[in-house]
Amino acid sequence: MRVLGVAPGLARCGLGVVDGAPGGPLTVRAAGTLHTPADADIGHRLLLIERGIERWLDECRPEAVAVQRASGRYSARTVMGTAQAGAVAILCAARRGLPVTWHTSGEVKAAVTGDGGVGRAQVGAVVTRLLRLDAPPEPAGALALAICHIRRAPVSHRPQRAHAAARPALVRLGKDTSR
């Protein structure tokens, strides 16, 4: 599975692509940050993020997109910028029919390190080890999102698999809920 992790932000939008399977080895394919000028209006900044994400989707061809959910523990301005940039990532993925999953920072930290309360430095150290890198990557958060998604894939897709498995029986009973 190839996953694009998006750590959204208006000033800096972290992107990381990881290949792997739950319980298997992980490989980083790409990592980087989209930057937008602070003095540009919001529309232009979001357009730059959209163009950058589209370019990443074209070049990396992920099968899924994992986006960090905006946290309410920051200022309203920061949360709004994060949510807006995250919405751009979702829109880009939706154009291609790619599944998108939101993950909180606590979920990401727990999936990557085993502890949802660790700091950025510990996340970076574990991501470095998991991806067998020589130095902490930048942006470690976007790569951690992709790793989280890969590790949680069997759990996060259970409801969809259960519904798909039950659908033929529901259709036979005249109770198809997908319409």
pLDDT tens, residue by residue, 25-74:
999 999 999 999 999 999 999 999 999 999 999 999 999 999 998 766 66
CA 145 to centroid of chain Cα atoms: 5
> Which residue, among 65, 159, 72, 150, has the nearest Cα to 111 in the 3D structure?
150
Supply the pTM of this predicted model: 0.83
Q: How many CB atoms lie within 10 A of CB 88?
A: 24
16: Cβ contacts below 8 Å, ≥ 6 apart: 4, 5, 7, 28, 30, 31, 32, 137, 139, 141, 142, 143, 144, 145, 146
pLDDT tens, residue by residue, 89-121:
999 999 999 999 999 989 999 999 998 888 889
